Amino acid sequence: MLLWVGLGNPEPGMARQRHNIGFMALDAIADRHGFSPWRQRFKGLVAEGSIAGQKILALKPMTYMNASGESVQPAAAFYKLSEEAITAFHDELDLAPGKVRVKRGGGAAGHNGLRSMDRQLGSPNYWRVRLGIGHPGHKDRVTGHVLGDFAKDDRLWLVPLLDAVAEAAPLLAQGKPEDFMTKVALLTQEIR
């Protein structure tokens, strides 16, 4: 079993914020691949499905971003999952809007959701799908940027990106992160 975690904030008024792109990606994957309806469990919402022969538990922590690990850790412990079985989908300031990078481990780079997961899991060696939202240009504007809603113009790259992530998800489930990134890039190249 794999645990795919979308990072975001639970309030309905926050649903369109850049910080919630992890929730959006998980929703797109669950919709595309016919996952079960979302239900409450592990201080979050979970949906179950199968992609490329792998059982996937999708988890959206409802603990707020800064306490995401309080939802992820109990889910991982219940299913006895190693860090290699966990993938976090999250917003990434240091990538241009619409760019995607997958990596295993590393620092939190100021991302409070990742910091909480690191603390609760005791290690940063899980997978991360870094979804680029761009940087506002100055560190004083970061909070407003990540907690701001996507602009109407952002839909031109956001919708195709989420579709591409959902389409390429089988490659991720098969443990082929490089192929996943390549397919997402190919599917979204017309919009750049």
For residue 118, the number of C-alpha atoms closer than 13 Å in the C-beta half-sphere is 15
The two beta strands, 54-61 and 44-51, are: antiparallel
Cα–Cα distance measured from residue 122 to residue 76, given in angstroms and rounded to the nearest whole number = 12
Distance CA 134, CA 151 (A): 13
The rounded distance, in Å, linking the Cα atoms of 185 and 174 is 18
* DSSP symbol at 36: P
For the record, the structure tokens of 153 come out as 């113009």
| DSSP character at residue 11 | S
Give catalytic residues, as residue numbers. Answer: 19
